[in-house]
């Protein structure tokens, strides 16, 4: 029975009961209406309205649940589905909504994969240009300044050239650091653990944060895409700690379990509170969806932020792992 006919029948039952009561009840209506008769009629009307409201609430309860879920659903948090229940056209509507979420999640994952692939390609191109073009140009400038300083007999000029050399050398180091952040060559050459070690060491050197590492070396084999997602999530999390957390220390752990690999980053800063998720966190959620992982962001025991990325091993095993170079482990 469709939703229309269900509502129609509910109202027909109420009105039929009221009609039967008027036909066969030993109650008559006088002209003019007496007070006791008015009380009976108003009481009957109130009973009909209450009964009708209760029946409609029961019949439309699944639609209310569907409305609440539609207003809160987030396709970056997959698996949010409604249990199919109710009668009439309600189950069909809920199933259609669940199917729509399935299609949206698949399409979002596909588009995110293309976007992130293009983003990584662009990162590599920029890193290559920084290293090959800007880096080499600064190296040439540094060599020219060094030769000019050796040839100059003026102590004041030599001091200025030495200052220019230091500025150029610092700029060259910054270009190399940016190129390294855009394209982590150590990840491709030595693997995830070495890349995370280098990342945390660089963070400690540049920010003064106390970084405590617990990186297991005997992890299961991970494909390149999964390693890249783990690295980027760690990179974004540590960047957020350095910029916004006002923390003194941060713990970075990479552990392997029977069915998953878990990356966890906890700081002792101000925490996330009720802050709105920005582009960085949304980007981490998209990367997690790309490999079927689960990203959880909450409060750390010490009051800071706790970022946890859980990668199921059934997603990263199989053919992907079989083609990975064992030397990278």
Q: Report residue 310's pLDDT band, with 50, 70 and 90 as the boundaries.
A: very high
DSSP per residue over 179-217, as a string? HHHHS-HHHHHH-HHHHHHHHHHHHHHHH--EEEEEE-S
Instruction: Spell 67-80 as b/e; 16+ CB within 10 A means b.
Output: eebeeeeeebebee
Give the pair of three-digit tokens for residue 90: 């309600």
Give the pair of three-digit tokens for residue 141: 């400038």
Give the pair of three-digit tokens for residue 184: 């982590």
The residue with greater pLDDT, 47 or 241, is: 241
Q: Report residue 307's pLDDT band, with 50, 70 and 90 as the boundaries.
A: very high
Q: How far is it, in rounded angstroms, from Cα 192 to Cα 227? A: 6
Instruction: Give first-to-last CA distance, the chain, whole Å.
Output: 62
pLDDT of residue 284: 86
Q: How far is it, in rounded angstroms, from Cα 137 to Cα 98? A: 56
Give the pair of three-digit tokens for residue 242: 């350095």
Range in 179-193, 230-244, 247-261, 315-329 the model is least confident about: 315-329
The residue with greater pLDDT, 277 or 86, is: 277
Residue 52 has pLDDT above 50, yes or no: yes
Residue 323 has pLDDT above 50, yes or no: no
Residue 258 has pLDDT above 70, yes or no: yes
Average pLDDT over residues 124-145: 79
Q: Of 170, 231, 165, whose CA–CA distance to 206 is shortest?
A: 170
Q: List phi, psi (to 5°) of 143.
A: -65, -40
pLDDT of residue 74: 65
Please list, in sequence order, all residues whose beta carbon lies within 8 angstroms of the beta carbon of residue 197, skipping any fewer than 6 positions away: 213, 215
Q: Report residue 36's pLDDT band, with 50, 70 and 90 as the boundaries.
A: confident
What average pLDDT is seen over the chain? Answer: 77
> What percent of the chain is predicted at pLDDT more than 70?
81
pLDDT of residue 274: 54
Query: 221, 324 in Cβ contact below 8 A?
Result: yes
Residue 58 has pLDDT above 80, yes or no: no
Average pLDDT over residues 43-54: 77
């Amino acid at each position: 029975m469709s939703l229309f006919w269900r509502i129609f029948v509910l109202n027909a039952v109420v009105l039929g009961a009221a009609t039967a009561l008027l036909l066969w009840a030993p109650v008559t209506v006088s002209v003019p209406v007496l007070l006791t008769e008015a009380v009976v009629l108003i009481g009957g009307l109130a009973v009909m309205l209450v009964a009708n409201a209760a029946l409609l609430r029961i019949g439309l309860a699944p639609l209310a649940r569907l409305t609440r879920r539609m207003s809160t659903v987030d396709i970056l948090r997959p698996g949010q589905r409604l249990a199919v229940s109710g009668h009439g056209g309600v189950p069909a509507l809920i199933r259609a909504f669940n199917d729509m979420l399935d299609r949206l999640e698949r399409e979002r994952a596909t588009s995110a994969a293309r976007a992130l692939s293009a983003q990584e390609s662009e990162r590599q191109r920029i890193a290559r240009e920084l290293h090959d073009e800007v880096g080499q140009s600064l190296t040439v400038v540094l060599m020219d300044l060094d030769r000019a300083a050796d040839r100059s007999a003026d102590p004041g000029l030599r001091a200025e050239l030495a200052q220019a050399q230091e500025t150029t050398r610092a700029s060259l180091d910054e270009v190399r650091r940016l190129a390294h952040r855009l394209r982590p060559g150590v990840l491709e050459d030595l693997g995830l653990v070495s890349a995370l070690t280098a990342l945390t060491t660089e963070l400690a050197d540049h920010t003064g944060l106390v970084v405590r590492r617990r990186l297991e070396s005997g992890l299961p084999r991970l494909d390149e895409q999964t390693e890249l997602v783990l690295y980027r999530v760690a990179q974004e999390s540590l960047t957020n700690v350095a910029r916004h957390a006002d923390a003194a220390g941060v713990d970075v752990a990479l552990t392997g379990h029977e069915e998953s690999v878990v990356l966890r980053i906890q700081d002792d800063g101000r925490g996330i509170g009720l802050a709105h998720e920005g582009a960085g966190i949304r980007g981490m959620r998209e990367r997690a969806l790309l490999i079927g992982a689960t990203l959880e962001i909450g409060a750390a025991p010490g009051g800071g932020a706790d970022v946890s990325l859980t990668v199921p091993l059934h997603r990263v095993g199989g053919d992907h792992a079989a083609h990975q170079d064992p030397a990278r482990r």
